[in-house]
Amino acid sequence: MLRHANSPAENEKRDALSRLLDDSHLEGADRLRAFLRYIVEEELAGRGADIRGKTIAQDVYGRDTSEGTDPENVVRVDARRLRQLLELYYETAGKHDPVRLYMDSGGYRPRFESVRPAHSLRHSGWPVRFGVPIGVFAAGSLIGAIIGANLPTPEVKFASSHSDTASASENPNLLQRAAIYEKSPAALQAFNLAQQARAMIFPIFDRPRQLLVLSVFERVIELDPDYFGGYAGAAQALATLSVITPPSEVKDDYTIAATKFANEAVRLAPDNAWSQSAKSWAYFADREYETALMVGKRAAQLHPNDGAVLDFLGAAAVFSGEFAEAIEFADRQSLLESSNQRFANRNISGAAHFHLGEYETTIQRFEEAKNLGDPLSAASLAYQVAAFSALGRDHQAQAKLAELKTAWPDAPVASMLRNIHSDNKHADAVINELLHQGWSPPNTQSKLNR
């Protein structure tokens, strides 16, 4: 396993570029190769801070930015493709490369990092190293440690007879935990805690919940820095904090940190569905909706019956405007027939049906969620108000609106929905029905940032 280290020397950076240019993923992609070579040469020449979409359009593509068109659009498209190819390369052929090249979202300047075995960076201060706002943990780390010490840990019994061995062989979960215990008791504690924290992430619109879950995953990483689940869970909590936070530097910090944690999870366990799901949700937080869905589908293929993976994929689909796909992911019959192991599928399905104009089904799905004990959020009630209102059933809409006002009187519903939907018209479809019912947004939308 590898960890980031210090910035490499110039010759190491050139070697990293050469390995990328020689990789089969860039064969025939002359424009991407020119793009990559240009930004690296500019960086090595000391002009990295001046790289702009305009300069790439002019210097690499020979486009005239004064022609009245948008030549920088092709740069943005190619940058997205290049980021995806870099990710793919370092997950496959380049996973053991000593130096890695990154191009972070929001810019075109390349970034190089050396990597080395994980043990050399133990106890190096992971919140700082991953770019996590320290304030996130100042209030939550003690809570996470307390939770980690007090949540029940499934007992591991080791086979002492033939019958016990047979029993264990029929219980994959028991065998899995026994194998982890062989590594260390702390590793088993980290695993158990991560599984419990993973089930706490939904509903995603609950900011204090996300901060609490993030602190729990901090504890998981402290217990076992080599366990991918700690980083995957932290990435999903950070990405969730990003998508429910209004545009700001704090939102950007959450997004950057989520991406770094997701990359670490993928580095540790590239073929694990949870790692890929975390990467997908980090892409969603960065508003890379198409890529988020692509990676989320990859995660679902790796583990088709992982309800948490499907929940995040369904959420990415519904808030990206892919409503039919969201319903497909949320309503998979094999999962609906099982006991309530999931928290979000019926809420996701209800929201997607609303945007397809299927208001009766929306009401039905949210009613099922309530009856089965799924956690609800202010957004869940807002969708129900909107569905009743769209059907002209004002009396029921008013009743749900009263529930919303009682349970979450200060919830910034409009901000919640506009921050997470890729297109404001989908958020406004809900908000306008609320306004039609006499709903008044709270005076202070900044509560979402607290």
Of the three residues 269, 296, 324, the one that is the final residue of a domain is: 269
User: Residues 15, 72: one domain?
Assistant: yes
CB 285 within 8 A of CB 266: no
Each as own residue / partner, the long-range contacts of residues 163-170 (CB below 8 Å, 24 or more positions apart, any chain) are none
Token pair in block for residue 373? 């004990």
User: Residues 150, 107: one domain?
Assistant: no
Token pair in block for residue 248? 């700001």
User: Residues 132, 264: one domain?
Assistant: yes
Q: Tally the domains of the chain.
A: 2
User: Residues 226, 135: one domain?
Assistant: yes
Where in the sequence is the domain holding 138, given as residue range(s)? 128-269
Residue with token string 């209102």: 389
Q: What pLDDT score does 85 carry?
A: 84
Q: What pLDDT score does 121 carry?
A: 36
Q: What pLDDT score does 1 carry?
A: 44
Which uninterrupted H or E stretch holds 114? Answer: strand 110-117
Cα 262 from Cα 233, distance rounded (Å): 9
* Burial environment of residue 270 by CB neighbours within 10 A (0 to 12, 13 to 18, 19 or more): middle
Q: What pLDDT score does 445 carry?
A: 40
Residue with token string 């920088």: 72
User: Residues 69, 165: one domain?
Assistant: no
Residues of the chain with pLDDT under 50: 1-5, 117-124, 128, 134, 138-143, 145-146, 148, 152-169, 333-340, 444-450
CB 327 within 8 A of CB 353: yes
The angle at the Cα of 145, spanning 139 to 147, to the nearest 5 degrees, equals 100
User: Residues 97, 173: one domain?
Assistant: no
Of the three residues 121, 152, 177, the one that is the final residue of a domain is: 121
Count Cα atoms within 13 angstroms, Cβ side, for 438: 9
**DSSP-based three-state secondary structure for 267:** helix
Of the three residues 79, 102, 121, the one that is the final residue of a domain is: 121
